Amino acid sequence: MRNNNFLYEGQYYHQIRGGAMGSPLTLTIANCYMFFFERDIVKQIINGGGSYLRYIDDMFIIINWSERHLNKQIDQWNLFDLNIQLKAQAGSSIDFLDLSVENVNGHLLTKVYHKPSHEPYYLPFNSVHPMHMKKNIPFAMLLRAIRYCSTFKAFLNEREDLRMALLLNKYPCVFIDKHFNRVLQKFNINQPLTSNNYIVRYAKRLFMRQKEKN
């Protein structure tokens, strides 16, 4: 976008290039532009037997290229538009948004990613906020864990870290267990999870989400 004019607190501003941060229109325009920007990249990745995903300005690529070749391709992609410069984070393990992905002998293992600055603080249970907000915290956080964690061990670690964080924020044990169980009920899990049945159920959840998208 060029020559963007807007009014803020009675003052007119002239933005030479780009759009206002946080504006829904800016995000829509950016996504439309990226659709055209990335077409050749997507075609190249797909033809190379890889997979390509993007969320706004974060790209996720799975492909059997050497890191040297990947960096060479990125240098070429950066010539598409000098205003959009891509930077790579490559390796057998990578963090994408709030997901951590690791390639172990050709198998992709996933779990929840927490930034180094992550602190175990949530909305305190003794706050004056509506109860439905407090109910949604353990539910939503465990829902993310059961969707993201591809191994039973990763799920257990995330669940116990979440439980400790909620206890730290004064959530009662009974309250935590009740809303953790809501997550299990959502996936029709009516028996204790084990390392054996977790993998089967994880595969089913992936299949269900794929059907929802289609």
The dihedral through the CA atoms of 102, 108, 109, 115 has a sign that is positive
CATH architecture of 2-91: 2-Layer Sandwich (3.30)
pLDDT tens string 60-107: 998 888 889 999 999 999 999 988 899 888 888 989 999 999 989 888
pLDDT tens string 4-59: 777 888 998 888 877 777 777 888 888 998 999 999 999 999 999 999 999 988 99
- The token pair at 117 is 């600055």
The pTM of this model reads 0.77
Q: What distance in Å separates the CA atoms of residue 85 and residue 160, rounded to the nearest whole number?
A: 40
- The token pair at 92 is 């057998």
How many CB atoms sit inside 10 A of residue 137's CB?
A: 19
Q: What distance in Å separates the CA atoms of residue 152 and residue 196, rounded to the nearest whole number?
A: 8
Q: What distance in Å separates the CA atoms of residue 10 and residue 199, rounded to the nearest whole number?
A: 58
User: Strands, E, within the chain: which ranges?
Assistant: 2-8, 11-17, 51-55, 58-62, 93-96, 99-104, 107-112
Q: Hey, where are the domains in the chain? A: 2-91, 111-213
